[in-house]
Amino acid sequence: MGATRPNLPVQTKKPIMNESDFSDKYSLMLIRMADASRSRYTLEETARLVGIHPERLRHYCRLGLLGETREEMGIELTFDDDALYELRRIKHFRERHGTSRKTLRLICGLWNQIEKLQAELRFLRSR
């Protein structure tokens, strides 16, 4: 996944998690990501990674639960890591809380609005 820089001590030699009081000791590991580009997944890969049926994933796309309508004629559906995150949240609400698809649509819309407002707030605070 990554590598530490040579001659850079980043972790203590003593195991600190086995001690009874480790709150005042810290451990740090630096890693370098090999590829910072976003991963792209096909419909089948995404369905397998999230644990839902591909047809349900298509249905979620038609409902617009993953942002703009993704399904267009002749274009293969692809998903990124953000979509995987959203789909796992949707799956959690469906399985744990029995949320209906209509309610999911409302929840996803609210999530998107919250994320936009948070981005706007970060922008305004940075000025």
Are the C-beta atoms of residues 125 and 118 closer than 8 Å to each other? no
pLDDT tens string 30-40: 555 555 566 88
The residues, any chain, with a CB within 8 Å of residue 61's CB and separated by 6 or more, are: 69, 70, 71, 77
pLDDT tens digit sequence for 41-67: 999 999 999 999 999 999 888 888 886
Tokens of 102: 């209509």
Closest CA to 104 of 62, 76, 72, 73: 62
Tokens (6 digits) for 107 = 């929840």
The tokens of 20 are what? 């009874």
Global pTM value: 0.60
> Could you give the CA distance from residue 94 to residue 105 in angstroms, rounded to a whole number?
12
- Give the residues across from 41 on adjacent strands: 79
pLDDT band, residue 72 (cuts 50/70/90): low
Mean pLDDT of all residues belonging to the chain: 77
Domains in the chain with CATH codes:
41-126 (1.10.1660.10)
Rama region for 74: left / alpha / beta (φ>0; ψ in -120 to 50; rest)? left
